Structure 1
């Protein structure tokens, strides 16, 4: 049984590492292409790039990263992207998109602060969850399974995951609210439900951890009542 537990633990940590590595890999690929593109630029291209970089000036542009739902998936022919394999323009429907809206800087100091604060709290909650998980695994490996400290750890893990879910959804809803006030795409609706569906597994896992904690708690209470009876 201990061998199966070890295999499951190693698999779980491998999934976590794979998730983190995937993010770094994509960031590295994007950085590589940016450096490669910059190395082959002419003076004219560099001047044009300087103008393009202005879109990252939050005093002139508002950046929104939102999901959008098309009204008519068969009739939208306005957006295309180059297919580098054939050189042709291919029709696409932007679903998850980065939008730069010029002259519509509606992101207030309070909004920016809220975004930063929620991001930091999510990071702390992630670390808190991982530390609690490692401590729980350590206790099980030491054969300290049905103990009150494990109940506390399970409750902490559940609370951390639920908090991460709520804060992650809130962060994306803030972006949706900002986008809705300054941007109305033709033929599209701004999707408020996708942030929930993308993070719903966090909520489910958090509730499952809380349920496990209560099961452990009930088992410990029954054991203690039996010991007192004897």
Structure 2
């Protein structure tokens, strides 16, 4: 009789057999090397829309502050040959430049505040968020400009001069001469948010080297 055939004992797995490929990118489950980072696109777009509206509504406060803090340009009315004329009382004054500068500085301050608040609430970047800050800042600046003009002195300077009388000083309408100041809010918000994201934002996971083992070391030959 022949002896029964028995299978050979299992040999020790070689290093090549023990190596396992890392899980594919985006595989879920605890302990995976890669996990999906951030909310979905629909969530990001919804958050971006809310941020845009909230930032733009801040223009109401900016407009009030601009009307309150901006210097007044003094005007004087006079009658020459039975015709009313209005001229600037202080021709060498810099009040008009101060009006534009006040708006730009306030816009930068609002941009810094809005960027810090958005970063603290969301703690990450993203194209929709950046676009929301830029568009919201521009809309807020436009709203602030119109609110400030509406709150300021009357736009009809001739009628205003006639109402106060000849030789009486009155304030010119609030006017934004340098339209580039409308971009101060958006630029300030984008730069500050970019800096905060680069310094304190989440870091992307490092990709292991090609052919690396489960513990980050290459298998021995």
Which of the pair has more CA radius of gyration?
Answer: 2
Greater RCO structure (CA 8 Å; 6+ sep): 2
